[in-house]
Amino acid sequence: MQWQCLRFDQLTTHQLYDLLKLRSDVFVVEQTCAYPDLDDHDKNPGTYHLLGYQAETLIAYLRLLPEGTTYDGVSIGRVVTSPTIRGKGVGYPLLEQGLAMAEQLWPGKTIEIGAQSHLQHYYQRYGFEAFSAEYLEDGIPHIDMRITK
């Protein structure tokens, strides 16, 4: 898998299309969740987009947000893998790359996420701990989690 970590202004139009399509295919269509995916955080000058390619196909993505954007700490969000490769373990290197990139960009900072509740154990494998009660976001149960450095 080939990884690229880019700011919004570094994305090509094809990369932007691919990441928005992947997010829409999974978060809107597959999860039947109508929500405002385009929240202006993508183009924040401090936001980075981690793209994972297999050949020419985008199969994994997440975004890295600076402190104070969605949480007090640094945040990782929009964590997604393509349905075509789901169950093949691609989510593990995706999150590992995301955490490594967050540490490189913002050394020693707390990382916070809004995790879908059914993925809590996945995030706990990387040291995330819950710090909120379960809540509904766009009709899907979530829980806030963090890693404190």
* b/e sequence 26-58, b meaning 16+ C-beta within 10 Å: bbeeeeeeeeeeeeebbebebbbbbbbbeeeeb
Verdict on whether the full-model pTM lies above 0.85 = yes
pLDDT, mean of residues 3-31: 93
In the chain, what percentage of residues exceed pLDDT 70?
Answer: 100
pLDDT in tens, 23-59: 999 987 887 777 777 888 999 999 999 999 999 999 9
Domain ranges of the chain: 2-147
Q: What is the pLDDT of residue 65?
A: 98
HSE-CB for 106 with a 13 A CA cutoff = 21
pLDDT, mean of residues 68-73: 93
Q: What is the CATH number of domain 2-147?
A: 3.40.630.30
Q: What is the pLDDT of residue 38?
A: 81
